[in-house]
């Protein structure tokens, strides 16, 4: 049995055998890991509030060869979403990050860029300030996973889309111009398209200097969620809940 320690983000927990909890972690150096927190539902001594979803922890665990589940020993909280006020919109936005990471990342596959993205965005999600971080996360995670199409030119004719909006289909990859949009295509406006370019060029701290109400970039968030759902072949329920707020 080998002992390990790593930074991690708690994604999800489930009841597991009497007072145990099954925990899904996204670790910095080992990727997504699942483990059992023994007696976590009875005693808070080793884990305390560290098992709340989207808590950033230093995790200690033990693993045996050829065993799928590790044994979680203790967590040290490095940052908790419960340290700041929580409302429904902030809770839903944090759930979007957790669901995407849980659904999109295979187990035992390190993704340091995705880890740093997740950490940056969840720490930015505060009451009244969730729409920029969730937009930033959805665009960037789609790109880091290799699922973001080229938004600079039409996938059919090659015409530049710079300074213009674009169209996309829920059924296939690629951004197109107005002339070559297919049946059932959805439009992303010129303002949102320009914002996507800025998101890929500027840090979130720079973008955060601007007002970012819910109504801004609705079409851009819908585009990113559609791209993610197409590749995951499943619906992101938390993203749909957030969109209805």
pLDDT by residue (tens digit) across 20-70? Answer: 999 999 999 999 999 999 888 776 667 878 999 999 999 999 998 878 899
What three-state secondary structure class fits 54? coil
Query: Which CATH number does 88-243 carry?
Result: 1.20.1440.120
Of 9-23, 101-115, 123-137, 210-224, which range is least confident? 9-23
| Two tokens, residue 33 | 């890991």
Compute the average pLDDT of residues 220-238: 97
Domain ranges within the chain, ordered by starting residue: 2-82, 88-243
Q: Could you tell me which of 96, 94, 78, 77 has the C-alpha nearest to residue 86?
A: 94
Answer whether residue 186 shows pLDDT above 70.
yes
User: Could you tell me what percent of the chain has a pLDDT over 70?
Assistant: 99
d(CA 171, CA 128): 34
| Two tokens, residue 60 | 């200690």
d(CA 228, CA 189): 20
Compute the average pLDDT of residues 151-179: 95
Residue 68 has a pLDDT of 87
d(CA 207, CA 244): 24
Choose the most confident range, by mean pLDDT, from 62-66, 182-186, 235-239.
Answer: 235-239
Compute the average pLDDT of residues 231-237: 97
List pLDDT tens digits, range 67-88. 889 999 999 999 999 999 999 9
Residue 45 has a pLDDT of 66
Residue 43 has a pLDDT of 67
pLDDT band of 104, cuts 50, 70, 90: very high
**Do the domains at 2-82 and 88-243 have one common CATH topology?**
no
Compute the average pLDDT of residues 154-164: 96
Q: Could you tell me which of 245, 242, 208 has the C-alpha nearest to residue 129?
A: 208
Q: What class, spelled out in words, does domain 2-82 have in CATH?
A: mainly beta
Residue 11 has a pLDDT of 97
Q: What is the residue-averaged pLDDT of the chain?
A: 94
């Amino acid at each position: 049995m080998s002992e390990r320690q790593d930074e991690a983000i708690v994604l999800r927990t489930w009841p597991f055998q009497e007072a145990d909890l099954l925990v899904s972690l996204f670790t910095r150096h080992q990727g997504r890991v699942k483990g059992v927190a023994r007696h976590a539902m009875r005693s808070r001594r080793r884990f305390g509030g560290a098992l709340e979803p989207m808590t950033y922890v230093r995790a200690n665990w033990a693993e045996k060869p050829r065993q799928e589940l590790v044994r979680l020993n203790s967590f040290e909280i490095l940052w908790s979403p419960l340290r700041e006020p929580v409302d429904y919109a902030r809770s839903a936005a944090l759930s979007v990050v957790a669901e995407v990471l849980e659904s999109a990342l295979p187990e035992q596959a390190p993704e340091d860029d995705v880890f740093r993205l997740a950490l940056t965005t969840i720490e930015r999600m505060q009451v009244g300030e969730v729409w920029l971080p969730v937009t930033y996360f959805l665009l960037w995670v789609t790109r880091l996973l290799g699922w973001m199409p080229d938004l600079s030119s039409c996938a059919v004719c090659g015409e530049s889309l710079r300074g213009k909006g674009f169209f996309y289909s829920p059924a296939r990859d690629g951004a197109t111009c107005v002339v070559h949009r297919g049946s059932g295509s959805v439009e992303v406006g010129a303002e949102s398209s320009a914002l996507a370019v800025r998101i890929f060029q500027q840090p979130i701290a720079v973008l955060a200097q601007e007002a970012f109400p819910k109504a801004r970039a609705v079409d851009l968030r819908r585009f990113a969620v559609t791209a993610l759902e197409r590749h995951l072949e499943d619906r992101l329920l938390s993203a749909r809940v957030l969109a209805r707020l």
